[in-house]
Structure 1
Amino acid sequence: MKIKLITLLSISILTFIGKAEAQKTKHVYQDATKPITERIEDLLKRMTLQEKIDQLRHIHSEDYDANGVVDLQKLHEFTKGNSFGCIEGFPLSSKQYLKMVYHVQKYMKQRTRLGIPVIPVLEGLHGTVQDNCTIFPQSIALASTFRPELAKQMSVHISAEMKAIGAKQLFAPDLDLARELRWGRVEETYGEDPFLVGEMGVAYIKGFRENNLICTPKHFVGHGTPIGGINLSNVEGGLKQLYSLYMQPFERVIKEADPLSIMNCYSSYDGEPITGSSFFLTDLLRKHLGFKGFVYSDWGSISMLYSFHHTAANSTDAALQAITAGIDVEAASSTYEELDSLVKSKKLPVSYIDRAVRNVLYTKFKSGLFEDALPDTTVAFKQQIHTPASIKLARTIADESIVLVKNENNILPLDESKLQSLAIIGPNADQVQFGDYTWSRNNRDGITPLNGIKQLIGDKVTINYAKGCELTGLDSTGFAAAVSAAKQSNAAIVFVGSQSAALARERINSTSGEGFDLDDLKLPGVQEELIKAIHRTGKPVIVVLVTGRPFVLSWEEKNVPAIAIQWYGGEQEGHAIAGMLFGKTNPSGKLPISFPKSTGNTPAYYNYLPTERGFYGSPGTENTPGRDYVFAKPGALWPFGYGLSYTKFEFNNLNISRKKVLSSDSITVSIQVKNSGQRDGAEVVQLYVRDLVSSVATPVQALKGFRKVFLKAEEEQIVTLQLPVNELYLYNKDLKRVVEPGDFEIQLGAASNDIRAKDRITVFVSQKELQAAKTLPGKTETRQQIENNTNISNDTTIKVSGIVRDVQASILSDVSIYTKTGETKVVTNDAGSYIITVKSSDILIFSKKGYETKEVPVRNNKILNVTLNKQSEH
Structure 2
Amino acid sequence: MLTPIVSNAQNVLIKPEIEKQIDDLLSRMTLEEKVGQLNQHSGSWDVTGPIPEDNEYVAERARLLKNGGVGSLLNVTGAEATYAAQKLAVENSRLGIPLLFGFDVIHGYKTIFPIPLGEAASWDLDIIEKSTRTAAIEASAAGINWTFAPMVDIGRDPRWGRVMEGAGEDPYLGSQVGLARMRGFQGNDLSEVNTILATAKHLAGYGFSEGGRDYNTVDFSRRTLHNIVLPPFKTLAENGLATVMNSFNDLNGIPASGDRYLQTTLLKEKWGFNGFIVSDWGSIRQMINHGYSKDLEQSALHAITSGNDMDMESEAYQRHLVDLVESGEVDVAVLDESVRRILRTKFLLGLFDDPYKYSDPEREEKLVYSDEHRTIARDVAKRSIVLLKNEKNTLPLSKEISSIAVVGHLAADKDAPLGNWRGRGEPNSAVSLLEGIKAAVSNNTKVNYTEGYTLAANNGSFAFALEYPEDDGSGFEAAIENAKNSDVVVMAVGEEALQSGEGRSLVDISLKGRQLELFKLIREVNENIVVVLMAGRPMIEPELYEGASTILNTWHLGTEAGNAIADVLFGDYNPSGKLPMSIPRAIGQIPVYYNHVSPGRPQTGPGDDGAVFWSHYNDEVNSPQFVFGYGLSYTDFEYSNFELSKNLMNMDETITARVDVTNTGEVPGEEVVQLYIRDHFASSMRPVKELKGFEKVMINAGETKTITFKLDKKTFEFYAADGTWKTEPGMFSIMVGTNSNDVQTLELNIER
Pair in the same fold by TM > 0.5: yes
**Corresponding residue to 1:560 among 548, 555, 559:** 548
Partner of 2:396: 413
**Contact 2:488–2:526 (CA<8 Å) still a contact in 1?**
no
User: Within the alignment, does 1:499 sit opposite 2:479 as a pair?
Assistant: no
Which amino acid in structure 2 is aligned with residue 653 of structure 1? N
Equivalence for 1:327: 308
Q: Aligned runs of 1:76-475 on 2, under 5 Å?
A: 76-79=62-65, 81-82=67-68, 84-90=70-76, 92=77, 97-128=78-109, 133-210=110-187, 212=190, 213-256=196-239, 258-306=240-288, 308-336=289-317, 337-375=319-357, 377=360, 379-417=362-400, 419-432=401-414, 433-439=417-423, 444-472=428-456, 473=468, 474-475=470-471
Q: Answer yes or no: is the 8 Å Cα contact 1:140–1:592 preserved in 2.
A: yes
Equivalent position amino acid for 1:403 in 2:
V
d(CA) in 1 for partners of 2:25, 2:603? 63
Task: Deviation per CA, 1:232-281: give whole Å up to 9, x if none.
Answer: 1111112111000000001111112x111100111112332111111111
* Residues 658 and 388 of structure 1: CA distance in aligned 2, closer, same or farther (over 3 Å): farther
What is the CA distance between 1:339 and its match in structure 2?
Answer: 0.9
Question: How far apart are the structure 2 equivalents of 1:666 and 1:249?
Answer: 24
- In the aligned structure 2, how far is the partner of 1:618 from the partner of 1:563? 33
**Structure with the greater alpha carbon radius of gyration:** 1
Partner of 1:69: 49
For residue 458 of structure 1, report the CA deviation from its aligned partner: 4.3
Q: TM-score, normalised by structure 1?
A: 0.78
Aligned to 1:584: 572
String of CA shifts for 1:354-406, please: whole Å, max 9, x gaps. Answer: 22112212222233322242125373421122233322211111111111111
Match of 1:763 in 2: 750
**Alignment partner for residue 695 of structure 2, among 687, 692, 707?**
707
Aligned positions, number: 707
**Structure 1 residue corresponding to 2:661, chosen from 661, 673, 680:** 673
- What 5-or-longer segments of structure 1 have no aligned partner? 1-31, 502-510, 766-874
Shift of the alpha carbon at 1:103?
2.8
Query: How far, CA to CA, are the matches of 1:332 and 1:758 in structure 2?
Result: 52
For the Cα contact (< 8 Å) 1:664–1:726, is it kept in 2?
Answer: no
Considering Cα pairs closer than 8 Å and 6+ residues apart, tell me whether 1 or 2 has the greater RCO.
2
The aligned amino acid for 2:224 is: Q
Deviation at 1:44, TM superposition (A): 1.3
Deviations 1:85-134 (A, max 9, x none): 211234x5xxxx21222233334333322221111111111112xxxx21
CA displacement at 1:688 relative to structure 2: 0.5
Q: Distance in 1 between matches of 2:296 and 2:680?
A: 51
Counterpart position of 2:735: 747
1:243 alignment partner AA? H
- Which residue identity does 1:640 align to in structure 2? F
Distance 1:479 1:710 in 2: 43
Query: By how many angstroms is 1:717 displaced?
Result: 1.3
Answer yes or no: is 1:479 the counterpart of 2:476.
Answer: yes
1:422–1:461 contact (8 Å) kept in structure 2: yes
Q: Aligned-pair distance for 1:34?
A: 5.7
Cross-structure match for 1:539: 527
What CA distance in whole angstroms lies between the structure 2 residues aligned with 1:577 and 1:603?
30
Identify unmatched segments of 5+ residues in structure 2. Answer: 1-13, 54-58, 191-195, 457-467
What secondary structure, in the 3-state scheme, does the structure 1 residue paired with 2:655 have? strand
Once the two structures are TM-superposed, the CA of residue 217 in structure 1 deviates from its matched residue by 1.2
Q: Does the CA-based 8 Å contact 1:179-1:224 persist in structure 2?
A: yes
Aligned with 2:101: secondary structure?
strand
Please say if residues 691 and 743 of structure 1, whose CA atoms lie closer than 8 Å, have aligned partners that are also in contact.
Answer: yes
Residue identity matched to 1:520: D
Q: What whole-Å deviation, never above 9, does each CA across 1:747-799 have from its counterpart, x for those lacking one?
A: 010000111x321222223xxxxxxxxxxxxxxxxxxxxxxxxxxxxxxxxxx
Judge conservation of contact 1:618–1:628 (CA < 8 Å) in 2.
Answer: no
Contact preservation (8 Å) 2:154, 2:171: yes
What percent identity do the matched residue pairs reach?
34
The one-letter code sitting in structure 2 at the alignment partner of 1:190 is A
Q: Which moved more, 1:107-116 or 1:235-244?
A: 107-116
Partners of 1:522 and 1:599 within 8 A in 2: no
Displacement of 1:739 in angstroms is 0.2
* Matches of 1:209 and 1:737, distance apart in 2: 30
- How far has the Cα of 1:209 moved from its partner? 1.8
What SS does the aligned partner of 1:719 have? Answer: strand
Which amino acid letter does the alignment assign opposite residue 478 of structure 2?
A
Q: What amino acid is the match of 1:69?
A: G
2:450 and 2:625 map into 1 onto residues whose CA distance is 29
SS in 1 for 2:38: coil
| Contact 1:613/1:635, CA 8 A, preserved across alignment | no
Q: Distance in 2 between matches of 1:377 and 1:196?
A: 37
- Between 577-586 and 76-85, report the one with greater CA deviation: 76-85
Q: Is the Cα contact below 8 Å between 2:104 and 2:147 reproduced in 1?
A: yes
Q: How far does residue 409 in structure 1 lie from its aligned partner after superposition? A: 2.1
Deviations 1:474-506 (A, max 9, x none): 5122222211211121221211111233xxxxx
What is the Cα deviation at residue 429 of structure 1?
A: 0.7
Equivalent residues of 2:79, 2:361 under 8 A apart: no
Task: Please tell me whether the aligned partners of residues 104 and 423 of structure 2 are also in contact (alpha carbons under 8 angstroms).
Answer: no
Instruction: Flag the 1:709–1:616 CA change in 2: closer, same or farther, 3 A.
Output: closer
Between 357-366 and 692-701, report the one with greater CA deviation. 357-366
SS at match of 2:587: coil
TM-score for the superposition, normalised by structure 2: 0.90
Indicate if the aligned counterparts of 2:66 and 2:93 stay in contact, CA closer than 8 A.
Answer: no
Whether the aligned pair in 1 keeps the contact of 2:731 and 2:750 (CA below 8 Å) is yes
The Cα offsets for residues 204-242 of structure 1, whole Å up to 9 and x where unpaired, read as 111222261211111111111210000011111121110
- State the one-letter code of the partner of 1:498: E
Query: Which is worse superposed, 624-633 or 570-579?
Result: 624-633
**2:588 paired with 1:606:** no
Q: Distance in 1 between matches of 2:526 and 2:615?
A: 36
Taking structure 1 as reference, are residues 627 and 744 closer, same or farther at Cα in structure 2, changes over 3 Å only?
closer
Hey, what's the Cα distance between the residues in 2 that align with 1:448 and 1:198?
A: 32
In the other structure, the counterpart of 1:799 is none
